[in-house]
Structure 1
């Protein structure tokens, strides 16, 4: 899934202003400008549109975790250089303090059914035989369900 879609949908769901977005990046360990954030949030057909790289998205998600859960003791997490949908879902799960049942319920809000065993395969170690890559469709439905659950004006 497109990193810009993830950041755009997360911003909309929680109604983050530009200043809040900049603050979340700072919490994750990177200084960004209002212009950068603005360019990342633009639609693909806008001439000012810029793709957000994996490291910046990971920084934003780490900042979201710190914002929602608080700073942990010791060294802070380092933003991954490469992201996939599994890592994005794991970071959102941590930030929102979700259990597997909560994720399944959020997916149901988007009218997407997923079993607990299917879900657990996405959180396994990539070296395990039961590990499965999270497809764009599932992450897209999770983000949609998250919007239904957390955005104040969303209708199911």
Structure 2
């Protein structure tokens, strides 16, 4: 699963329109037009190959790690409001996505923050999709990358989490 897939699935799960997605990118510090949003969400034609078991989707415009994290930071601001320091200045969003393999972990953490989900909520969402995860396994996925108990979140968990969000928010 690539960043475009994550963005498409999250947009679907939260039932966001293109205009809202562009606004959320703006809140995350990235000015993007509706046409650019549509390019991030539109698959290119002609990349289906029947010989391969799994072919990764190719989109009109690639969603880089910084782009995805800008959206996630904007989503937090959109859902919870902008954080301010004691002096009243807005807090700069953090960018912790350094490697492609960490994208699912960052997605889970930031969506958890944006939607005010508890660990129990995440476990329930995964449970609704037939994926069973222990509290300690979830805790390992939500840790910082340099922590000794950190565990990489696989695509299966991220896909099912986004599927569960869609079931909950679109019902």
**Structures share a fold, TM > 0.5?**
yes
RMSD: 1.8
Instruction: Please name the residue that 2:154 is paired with.
Output: 135
Say whether the 8 Å CA contact 2:143–2:150 is kept in structure 1: yes
CA 1:14–1:127: 2 relative to 1, 3 Å: closer
Q: Return 48-57 or 101-110, whichever deviates more.
A: 48-57
Q: Return 102-111 or 127-136, whichever deviates more.
A: 127-136
Counterpart of 1:143 in 2: which secondary structure?
Answer: helix
Instruction: Please name the residue that 2:23 is paired with.
Output: 23
Separation in 2 of the partners of 1:7 and 1:48? Answer: 11
Provide the aligned length of Structure 1 versus Structure 2: 152
Q: Return 119-128 or 141-150, whichever deviates more.
A: 119-128
Separation in 1 of the partners of 2:148 and 2:2? Answer: 27
Could you tell me which runs of 5 or more consecutive residues in structure 1 were left unpaired when the two chains were aligned.
none
CA 1:140–1:21: 2 relative to 1, 3 Å: same
* Residue 78 (structure 2) pairs with residue 76 (structure 1): no
CA 1:28–1:104: 2 relative to 1, 3 Å: same
